[in-house]
Chain A
Amino acid sequence: MKKTFYLAAAAMLLIACPAFAQETITIGFTSSQTGALNNDSTAQMRGIELWRDDVNAKGGLKLGGKSYTVKLVSYDDESQNTRVQQLYTRLITQDKAQFLISPYSSGLVATAAIISEQYGKVMITTGGALEKTYQLGNKNLFQLYTGSSQYLAGALVALKEKNPKPRVAFVYEDDPFSKSVVAAVRDTAKKDGDVIAVDESYAGSTTDFSPVINKAISAKADALLGGGHYADGATLARQLHEQKAGVKWVTLLVAPDSPKFAELGDSAVGISVPSQWEPQAAFKPDFGPTVPAFTKAFTDKYKIAPAYHAAGGYAAGLILQHAMEKADSIDQAKVAAQLNAMDVTTFFGRTKFSTDPKSHGLQVGHDMVLAQWQKKDGKLVKEVIWPKAAKTAEALY
């Protein structure tokens, strides 16, 4: 009788003590474990997972007097839009995710955004630079990456420092992101009166670039700007080298930023890439890890250096965390209000979202850098060649 009484009392004490209760907050996203976007999407996911590990190691999030463990629910979207549609619906309705992070790549982000907006869920988008997604009238999207129109702007400026009147070839993937990037830089080139030697898009599944490379050779192009994502970008870089195209300046999107690009060996030398973040960046963060701390933690855990996709993944979690902590709650509206008001600097750089209803969520605080693969003491390293403030080496031409 006495034993039962004490047991019951102990049980009631435990139930009645909310401070000891560890709740979970569920954050959902998909990543391309298979398919053409595999390489960079996995890096992004690792960044998100590292953030979750860091938060949970410190005891989780402390909000509104409660303690929350971060739980990530993710699925393989196979690099397909149809799967993104199904899986984000599942994340919201079945897995009851409270907040969402986007998939990787602008095309998939656009699809996920339709679903997240339908259900009114806050989604931090990372890995998607296409600006159009934020111009369709949204309330709960928050973009981490600098918009696509900025991508090649720096590349053109840096190129002109070496050759004021270049013959430019635009060879780019036929997807919304790459097309919008090239559209922006094409306008600038036309205004400056540059010769556009080649201007062609290719299907993302293209593996034979020799016809378009021959065209670039025939047109005597000095510079090639374009590419798309990892698979086609890496193949294009390799074939440019194999065919001895002799193009003096090559800037490709996305692909050269991945550490895996170094596997191309000599084909990688001189290839530059617009980057959202580099490990050499010198930002002083308001909160969260410093650049060296993040780089070390990532490299230690995954045995590979982080590129901007991984940094974007971590930053997505970090920004969401900061918004929740400032709101001291997991309520959607309160967190969204904090995100709207945010103007901070983290290891990823400055983050500020547009609150103009016509372009809500567009990233307006973050800047790009241009990185280039160079040979240093016989090894391939990525150096930052532009802008001057962030430079670590001279550009190769």
Chain B
Amino acid sequence: MIGILASIIDGILIGAVYGLAAMGLTLIWGVMNVINLAHGAIVVIGMFVLYTVANMLGLHPYGAVPLMIVFGFVVGIALYWVGVHRMIGRPELMSLLSTFALNMVLIGLGTAWWTTSPYNVQVSVPSVSWQGYTFTGTHITAAVLAVVIAGLLYLLLYHTRIGKAVRAVATNREAAELCAIPTTQVLAMAFGLGVALAGVSGTLIATMFPFTVLSGEAYQLKSFVVTVLGGLGNPAGALMGGIALGLVEGLATPFMPVSWIPIVEFGLFVFCLIAFPRGIFSFTKA
């Protein structure tokens, strides 16, 4: 019984980080109808930023978190202008292909620079033990930081003018233009925000596990599942969806071989697409 509880807690901790990763994806999707297939590559950028900061520059690993948020925002805006701007308003397949191409370029550059060998950043944080089970400090810290960043995002979206502008553009772009909101710049910023979120989730993941240039794919898949669970364009839903996914993983693990867990996850994915097309946690528009 305790084993199941421990597994659930562990799952929730990881789930918070999944949620953070998915928030970036769902924000971009919700605001500009662009499915960002470069999401995985950006998670990997976050991982290597941690490696650079901690192993090469010798700074404190968690110092990479605010650095990544700023860096991700800037990179996101750049990526928007390079690959996404001209695809807004066009058929969705075009933005899909464009972000897919971006993904290939980023992964290619990453492989040329870092190769596909595994990298690891050793982060020591005191862990918490309970009844023979230990919750590693890095997992706990990552989950806490994920929730904090999600909270900051919420504050930004609902309590600032910029956030209001983003929500306005997401609701109806023409009406926002009529209200003298510079929608193109807002879209660029929203993309930057989405990339920053994805990148910082990569940084947090890298504090917990080793990674390679190709590690982003797995998290991109999980982000799609979480986005569907939480409802498109709903960042709060994404966080809750992430935690729900982590919960499902934690609940299922004691009862079946670990290699079966993806079957459960994607079964859930298909079920949600059929039964809850707007997402389980969707309160706003689809």
Cβ contacts A to B, 29 pairs, < 8 Å: A34-B115, A35-B115, A35-B116, A35-B117, A36-B116, A38-B115, A38-B118, A174-B259, A200-B259, A205-B218, A207-B210, A207-B211, A208-B14, A210-B10, A210-B136, A214-B7, A214-B10, A214-B253, A214-B254, A215-B254, A215-B258, A217-B6, A217-B132, A231-B210, A235-B209, A235-B210, A242-B136, A243-B134, A244-B129
Q: Is A212 close to B, CB under 8 A?
A: yes
Q: B116 to A214, Cβ gap below 8 A?
A: no
Mark contacts of A233-269 with chain B using CB atoms, 8 A cut-off: 1 yes-contact digit, 0 otherwise. 0010001001110100000000000000000000000
- Proximity bits, B87-123, A CB within 8 Å = 1, else 0: 0000000000000000000000000000111101000
- Please determine whether A34 and B117 come into contact, CB atoms closer than 8 angstroms: yes
Which of B3, B117, B127, B218 has a CB less than 8 Å from the CB of A214?
B3
Q: Is the CB of B254 within 8 A of A218?
A: yes
Contact B259 A203 (CB under 8 A): yes
B249 touches A211 (CB 8 A): yes
B154 within 8 A of A: no
Using CB atoms and an 8 Å cutoff, list the residues of chain A in contact with chain B. Answer: 33-36, 38, 78-79, 174, 200-203, 205, 207-208, 210-212, 214-215, 217-218, 231, 235, 239, 242-244, 246
B1-22 to A contact mask, C-beta < 8 Å, 1/0:
0010011001000100000000
B209: chain A residues within 8 A (beta carbon)? 207-208, 235
B141 contacts chain A at the CB level, 8 A cutoff: no
> Chain A contacts of B132 at CB under 8 A?
217, 246
Does the CB pair A207–B7 fall under 8 Å?
Answer: no
Q: Which residue of A lies closest to B208 (CB)?
A: A208
Chain A residues near B258: list those with CB within 8 A: 200, 202, 211-212, 215
Q: Which residues of A contact B261 (CB under 8 A)?
A: 211
| Chain A residue at smallest Cβ distance from B250 | A211
User: A3 to chain B: closest CB distance in Å?
Assistant: 56
Q: Please tell me if the beta carbons of B133 and A217 are within 8 angstroms of each other in the complex.
A: yes
B254→A78 contact, CB < 8 A = no
Bound CA–CA A217/B118 (angstroms):
27
Chain A residues with CB below 8 A from B253, complex form: 211, 214-215
A214 to B250, alpha carbons, bound, how many Å?
10
Any chain A CB within 8 A of the CB of B52?
no
